[in-house]
Amino acid sequence: MCACRCGIRVHVDEQDGRSAVRYIEGNPQHPLNKGVICAKGASGIMKQNSPARLTRPLRRKAGAERGAGEFEPISWEEAYATLAARLAAIRRMDPKKFALFTGRDQMQALTGLFARQFGTPNYAAHGGFCSVNMAAGMIYTIGGSFWEFGGPDLERARLFVMFGTAEDHHSNPLKVAIAKFKRDGGRFISVNPVRTGYSAIADEWVPIRPGTDGALLLALVREMIEQGLYDRDFVARYSNGGQLVIADPASPRHGLLATDEGADPVNPLYPQDKLWWDRHSGRAVLSHTPGADPSLFGDYRLADGTRVRPAFQLLADRVRPHTPEWAEAITGIPAATIRRLAHEMGVTARDEKIELPIAWTDCWGTEHQTVTGNPVAFHAMRGLAAHSNGFHTVRTLAILMSLLGTIDRPGGFRHKAPFPRAIPPSAKTPTGPEGVQPDTPLAGLALGWPGSPEDLFVDAEGGPVRIDKGFSWEYPLSVHGLMHNVITNAWRGDPYRLDTLMIFMANMAWNSTMNTGEVRRMLNDRVEEGEQRGEYRIPFIVVCDAFQSEMTAFADLVLPDTTYLERHDVMSILDRPISEFDGPMDSVRVPVVPPSGECRPFQEVLIELGSRLKLPAFANPDGSRKYRDYPDFIVRHETEPGSGIGFLAGWRGADGAKSLRGEPNPEQWQRYAENNCVFKHELDPSYCYMRNWNRGYMEWAQRARLRRWGDPILVHLYSEVLQRFRLAAQGKWPGRRPPPALAGRVATYFDPLPFYYAPLEDQFTDKAKYPLAAITQRPMAMYHSWDSQNAWLRQIHTHNYLFVNPRTAAASGIGDGAWMKVESQWGSVRCMSRYSEAVEPGTVWTWNAIGKSPGAWALAPDANEFTRGFILNPVISDTLPGGTSNSDPVTGQAGWYDVKVRISPA
Amino acid sequence: MTTKQLALVIDLNVCVGCHACVTSCKGWNNAGEAGPLTDQNPYGADPSGTFFNRVQTFEVGEFPKTETVHFPKSCLHCEDPPCVPVCPTGASYKRAEDGIVLVDYDKCIGCKYCSWACPYGAREIDESQKVMKKCTLCVDRIYDQKLPEAERKPACVLACPTSARLFGDIHDPESEASRAIREQGGYALMPEWGTQPANHYLPRRKTEKHLHADELVRHDNPLKVDGKLPRPDAGEPALDDVTSW
């Protein structure tokens, strides 16, 4: 398997008794990429042989400054001994002083397990600064999201609308699907400030101002409702649009869904006790009462006099002022275009319906002879997510998709196992500081899905327990953590200081951090007074990476990771497997060449440390080592003793005859290796659609233990979860309430209905002075900062330009190709301009992470990446005036694309 | 004219400019018979190496009516290749059996006449070996009987995620490549040079949607069920009030 998720075939030569990679190609037998490969994958040989490889454990030389990159090699035994002693002492005193943050999400099942077993809450992968709004906004609305969680069904879609996507997690399958979709005559519309990559082949490009997609989406939702283009049958039965919301501002239950107190909730955690106003009988009935049909509009009173309104009515009221003309002023898209887009979506969904002859039964027992599809599909990525208003923007997109009746239906959006999940998913963090105890595993997961203020991870005063302030009142639904806050918070000692910060494969001293210059200073800053005078403010930094990045230079201890060609790995069903629409699928990576130098896989480091620290999951009761190595761990580890659930779903059971659940199989790795490293469970066709409400699927998923509960997952057009937090902020919630300083913020942003607000940074920006938006895109031929050490790929992107619309550039007196300055209120960068008609005039942009810091990545001192390349990060702030993070107030997603700049010749 | 003429047909309608073809070509040919494809200054200033295939990106039109075009370019294997007659040593030649234009490295003296003669800039001198190199249509794999038949194609064709690269005999009217050229408006680059490039390009094609006003209002509009289609109040004036028969 390649560095991401595609299958590859690696041709290896034996030279002087050593294996060397000769050629890499796509594996035609692999279900994900079916033989195709991307530019990065096809250049794997140069990654493998890069001079920037780290090959020995390194210790910062005594007396050398952090960042200077002066190291001395040490043995693994010394590295392990140093680390184990340090970590054991931390664990004994206060486990939260150890923080583990990783750049990769695809190893979370193991990294998360390690952190939890260690007992620290301070763990996350990079989702918080990547695209958590995309995950949270959709999962809190439809129980699933894009990328590994689900995606557009382009096999059957007729209209495909893509928002703000340059490159994707799932890039080869997406490219395959878009090309096929276009050849089949589908219509492709791209909404993006910039026309590159995928947008280049769109039938229509709709340029938009960055950070305003929420306004466009609200106007589209409005048109859908005003024109009657919503799928009423779908909304009434499969969303909470028909459920009644208490409309009594004086009541402590204002804004919650009205319930039938006498009804059987079925599952108290996700009670099915809500009410409809039945339009046939003209009275309130239990939701989904056979024969009833909910009124979507109206204003009613329950028998006890409580005033209630259908959630759909509240949504309609919310969007009514958001006319296309209103959105035009914000987005720059002509109102007529917005109207036309809405009508195209609505009419295509309604008039080009698909009926598949697949019988299925819904969760309320109604049998359906066919599966219906409304063939309008969407996709989105950081363009929507990486703004401080992104959560509500993404939620609005999920609502639009739902009104069109496209959720888990052919031609629309489809889930990938193990999704759909309950709203919210049932994984939870501890709820207070008592969940962190010396020498004890964490009393919950480090990352979870809060459903109410009671699920927050805060102390008695409402203050954060996590170093990144995740799951606190500042960022209550920070379901992927806030890696971008860690260094700044640890440096400030806010909420406390760390002892050891371990970073795996994340370039936090360069392109993966906001405010790069300051962060580099913080990493090298020392305590000025008191007992610890002269010590680093972040006392010990461990970095594990395969390459010498900007970040490794700041480490006290560098652990050389293997490449993806040198190790075992799993795309686990416990994490983000490679499932497709028609069933769960997981995969493995097996080593094809031996490790370079003394490299060891990060997974082995964790197994080794877990064993030395005698963490319960990695040690026998007598303290002895439980697992020989990572492959042994993968085969034998079970989520609970005897659960039959492990990291890999395929070929379980002693003889390999079981799947999904079954006893450990010692031959499991061999079986995967014999089967293109992939396991797939193909679902019965009747379980492949409408899974939120599909009884057959739910029962299967419960049997397979993909899900604990089998309750239907209604689309949350109206988010009662958000309303619970708002009630708390308004002092009406019976439980936890936010600290007074944050009450206004929570009350504003925890709106149960989607809304648009200008990104937070706009509130602090003089837009006359800084009129332009500045954004980045990820080039298809580079994996963030990772590929400038690759001799082939760096010939494609040797240095970058700032792309500026010629009219915008000319107005500032900047010539094409000239040196220029791009400046925000936070900082400035010198760069070279490139005129482009493919960017809307209010935006400037560049490719992400092409510019490098001198000395890094084993490039020569005069490499173009240093002399001409640049990164935009120094003009982006990680903190807003007042001290909060430059992040979404709901999820903590980093607001990368909110910065406003001005440009001038330089 | 050769009886058989192998060629690439590149579909600009689906090319997203991902460069998979560029590095897959480099990977195969660097390791294969046409290799090595050397790199100069690979980790220093202005790195520059030999590639048989590159993707150029350009823009057409003015904002907002801008098209961004990704344009993969390699040797076009002209039917009348100007690079061949100018070669003083006979190193540059066109194969009779399949029309592939090749360079015999053993005969090439690196004089660059061929690259001056090529109007498409498709040839690149290998600065290390000082011989002219260019696309071979992966001649060392397309006839390789050890490979499954489906894989006897140029590396760029197998790699391309959008299957934007068709490969076949354009003298065979039934080939996929010929059909695509015929039916989808395939064109050759700069035909005025008379080189008759074998490689062709397929143009962008737009899918549009035209809505009729009556499609917005239909009998099954859910606003009827939801009681939201506007109905005038019975008390408003009507013809009934002013006429009698």
In angstroms, rounded to a whole number, what is the distance separating the alpha carbons of residues A568 and A592?
10
Beta bridge pairs of residue B131: B126
SS3 B179: helix
Inside any domain, residue A658: no
Nearest-angstrom CA–CA distance, A38 and B18: 7
Q: Which residues contact A529 (CB under 8 A, 6 or more apart)?
A: none
Side chain identity at A231, as an amino acid letter?
D
| Partner-chain contact A35 B158, CB within 8 Å | yes
What gap in Å lies between CA A783 and CA A802, rounded to an integer?
19
Q: Whole-angstrom Cα distance, residue A810 to residue A815?
A: 7
Written out in words, the top-level CATH class of the domain with range B6-202 is: alpha beta
* pLDDT score recorded for residue B243: 77
pLDDT digits (tens, 9 = 90+) for A722-736: 999 999 999 999 999
Band of pLDDT at residue B244, cut at 50, 70 and 90: confident
Going by pLDDT thresholds of 50, 70 and 90, the confidence category of residue B215 is: confident
Task: Compare CB distances from B63 to A837, A862, A864 and report the shortest one's residue.
Answer: A837
Contacts of B142-146 with C-beta under 8 Å, sequence gap 24+, read: B142/B6, B142/B167
What whole-number distance in Å separates Cα of residue A360 and Cα of residue A356? 11
Q: What is the pLDDT of residue B1?
A: 59
Residues facing residue A188 across a β-bridge = A160
- Does B221 contact A864 at a Cβ distance shorter than 8 Å? no
Calculate the CA dihedral of residues A599, A603, A605, A607 and round it to 10 degrees. Answer: -140
Among A200, A295, A860, the residue with its CB nearest the CB of B16 is: A200
Q: Under an 8 A CB cutoff, do A45 and B49 touch?
A: no
A169 pLDDT more than 90: no
The answer for residues whose C-beta is within 8 angstroms of residue A409's C-beta and 6 or more apart is: A153, A371, A372, A373, A374, A689, A690
Nearest residue to B42 via CA among A12, A784, A545, A864: A864
Nearest to A772 by CA among A875, A904, A900: A900
Last-in-domain residue among A415, A446, A481: A415
- Looking at residue A345, what is its pLDDT? 98
pLDDT in tens, A539-565: 999 999 999 999 999 999 999 999 999
Enter the ipTM: 0.96
Last residue of a domain, one of A415, A435, A457: A415
Of A37, A185, A188, the CB nearest to B20: A37
DSSP code for A184: T
Which token pair is A667? 């031959």
d(CA A402, CA A794): 43
Model confidence pLDDT, tens digit, residues A424-441: 999 999 999 999 999 999
Residues 11-50 of B with CB under 8 A from A: 13-20, 22-24, 26-28, 31-32, 39, 41-49
Question: pLDDT of A578-620, one tens digit each?
Answer: 999 999 999 999 999 999 999 999 999 999 999 999 999 999 9
Domain end point (choices A415, A447, A482): A415
> What angle (nearest 5°) sits at the alpha carbon of residue A463, between those of residues A458 and A467?
80
CB contact under 8 A, A838 and B68: yes
Is B56 part of the contact surface with chain A (CB cutoff 8 Å)?
A: no
How far apart CA B132 and CA B106 sit, in angstroms, is 11
A:B CB pairs within 8 Å: 206
Copy the structure tokens of residue A46. 């140069």
Cα separation, A892 vs B2, whole angstroms: 65
For residue A297, the chain B residues in CB contact (below 8 A) are 226-228
Residue A115 has a pLDDT of: 98
Q: What would the mean pLDDT of A561-584 be, rounded to a whole number? A: 95
B162 in contact with chain A, both atoms CB, cutoff 8 A: yes
The CA distance from A28 to the nearest CA of chain B, in Å, is 9
Residue B106 to residue B86: CA distance in whole angstroms: 17
Specify the 3-state DSSP secondary structure of A849.
coil
Both tokens of A192, joined, read: 């993006």
What are A90-113's pLDDT values in tens digits?
999 999 999 999 997 789 999 999
> Which residue bears the tokens 């002399």?
A867
Residue A167 has pLDDT above 90, yes or no: no
> What is the number of alpha carbons within 13 Å of residue A893 lying toward its C-beta?
32
> For the residues B38-51, what does the mean pLDDT come to?
97
Q: Using CB atoms, which residue from B42, B48, B222 is nearest to A228?
A: B222
Nearest-CA distance A475 → chain B (Å): 36
Distance of alpha carbon A471 from alpha carbon A481, whole angstroms: 8
List CB contacts of A304: < 8 A, sequence separation 6 or more.
none
Half-sphere exposure of A473 (CA within 13 A, CB side): 26
Asked if pLDDT for residue B2 goes beyond 70, the answer is: no
According to DSSP, residue A629 is labeled S
Q: Is the pLDDT of residue A285 over 90?
A: yes
| CB-count burial class (<10 Å; 0-12, 13-18, 19+) for B145 | exposed
Q: What is the pLDDT of residues B169-211, one digit of tens each?
A: 999 999 999 999 999 999 999 999 999 999 999 999 999 999 9
CA-to-CA distance for B79 and A852, rounded, in angstroms?
Answer: 46
Question: Max Cα separation, chain A?
Answer: 87
For residues A177 and A155, give the distance between their C-alpha atoms in angstroms, rounded to a whole number. Answer: 7
Give the whole-angstrom CA distance, residue A852 versus residue A864: 9
As a whole number, the mean pLDDT across chain A is: 96
- Give residue A168's pLDDT: 72
> Is A205 within 8 Å of B206 when comparing Cβ atoms?
no
How far apart are the C-alpha atoms of A473 and A457, rounded to whole Å? 9
Number of Cβ atoms within 10 Å of the Cβ of A861: 10
Look at the block and give the residue holding tokens 């070669």: B87
pLDDT at B213: 87
Q: What is the pLDDT of residues B140-152, one digit of tens each?
A: 999 999 999 999 9
* Domain membership flag for residue A587: no
Q: Which of these, A473, A316, A353, lies nearest to A884 by C-alpha position?
A: A473
Query: Which of A185, A186, A343 lies nearest to residue B216, judging by beta carbons?
Result: A343
CA–CA distance, A525 with A530 (Å, rounded to integer): 15
What value does the mean pLDDT take over residues A450-456?
Answer: 98
Whether A217 has a pLDDT exceeding 70, the answer reads yes
DSSP state of A241: T
> Which chain A residue is nearest to residue B51, measuring alpha carbons?
A792
Q: What percent of chain A has pLDDT over 90?
A: 97
Torsion sign across C-alpha atoms A858, A864, A868, A870: negative
Contacts of B68 in chain A (CB under 8 A): 195-196, 199-200, 838
The domain spans of chain B are 6-202
Please report the pLDDT score of residue A653 as a whole number.
96
The token pair that represents A239 in the structure block: 């969303």
Say if residue A233's pLDDT is above 70: yes
Q: Which of A10, A196, A201, A337 would you mutate first to test chain B, the one with the most B CBs within 10 A?
A: A201
Which residue in A792, A864, A865 has the most chain B C-beta atoms within 10 A of its own C-beta, making it the best mutation to test that interface?
Answer: A792
Q: What is the number of H-type helices and E-type strands within chain B?
A: 6, 11
Out of A11, A38, A867, whose CB is closest to B18? Answer: A38
**One-letter amino acid identity for A825?**
Q
Name the domain count of chain A: 2
Q: Report the predicted TM-score, pTM, of the whole model to 2 decimal places.
A: 0.97
Q: Quote the pLDDT of residue A47.
A: 96
Query: What secondary structure letter does DSSP report for A75?
Result: -
Task: Residue A780: list chain B partners with CB under 8 A.
Answer: 16-19
CA of B74 to nearest chain A CA: how many angstroms apart?
16
Give the C-alpha separation, A523 to A525, whole Å.
6
Beta-carbon contacts of residue B67 (< 8 Å; ≥ 6 apart) = A195, A200, B59, B60, B61, B204
Judge: B16–A39 Cβ closer than 8 Å, yes or no. Answer: no
Percent of chain B that is helix, strand, coil (3-state, to 5): 20, 20, 60
Residues from chain A that touch B10, judged by Cβ atoms under 8 A, are none
> Residue A401 domain-assigned?
yes
**Residue A761 near residue A900 (C-beta atoms within 8 A):** yes
Tens digit of pLDDT for each residue in A877-898?
999 998 899 999 999 999 999 9
Q: Which domain holds residue A792?
A: 760-905
pLDDT in tens, A326-345: 999 999 999 999 999 999 99
- Tell me the shortest Cα–Cα distance from B244 to chain A, in angstroms: 37
* A640-644, B35-39, B214-218: the lowest-pLDDT one: B214-218
- Residue A200 tokens read as 């280049």
Q: Which helix (H) or strand (E) holds A845?
A: strand A843-847
Rounded alpha-carbon distances, angstroms, from residue B215 to A106, A348, A403, A406, B221: 46, 10, 18, 20, 10
The pair of three-digit structure tokens given for residue A78, joined into one six-digit string = 């010394």
pLDDT value, residue A369: 98
Interface contact A38-B20, CB threshold 8 A: yes
On the question of a cis peptide bond just before residue B36, with omega within 30 degrees of 0, the verdict is yes
Taking residues A631-651, report their average pLDDT. 96
Query: Which candidate, B5, B165, B3, B183, places its Cα nearest to that of B71?
Result: B165
SS3 string, B132-146, reads EECCCCCHHHHCCCC
Q: By the 8 A CB rule, do A647 and A657 touch?
A: no
H/E segment holding residue A828: strand A828-835
* Chain segment B111-132, per-residue pLDDT in tens: 999 999 999 999 989 999 999 9
Indicate which CATH number applies to the domain containing A161: 3.40.228.10
Instruction: Give the three-class secondary structure for B59.
Output: strand
Q: Has residue A741 got a pLDDT over 90?
A: yes
pLDDT at A459 over 90: yes
- B39–A188 CB contact, under 8 Å: no
Who's near A145: CB < 8 A, 6+ residues apart?
A134, A135, A137, A138, A139, A419
Can you give the pLDDT at residue A26?
98
List, for residues A14-70, the tens digit of each pLDDT value.
988 889 999 999 999 999 999 999 999 999 999 999 999 999 999 999 999 999 999
- pLDDT band with cut points at 50, 70 and 90 for residue A703: very high
* Cα–Cα distance for residue pair A633/A117, rounded to 1 Å: 15
H or E element that contains A318? helix A311-319
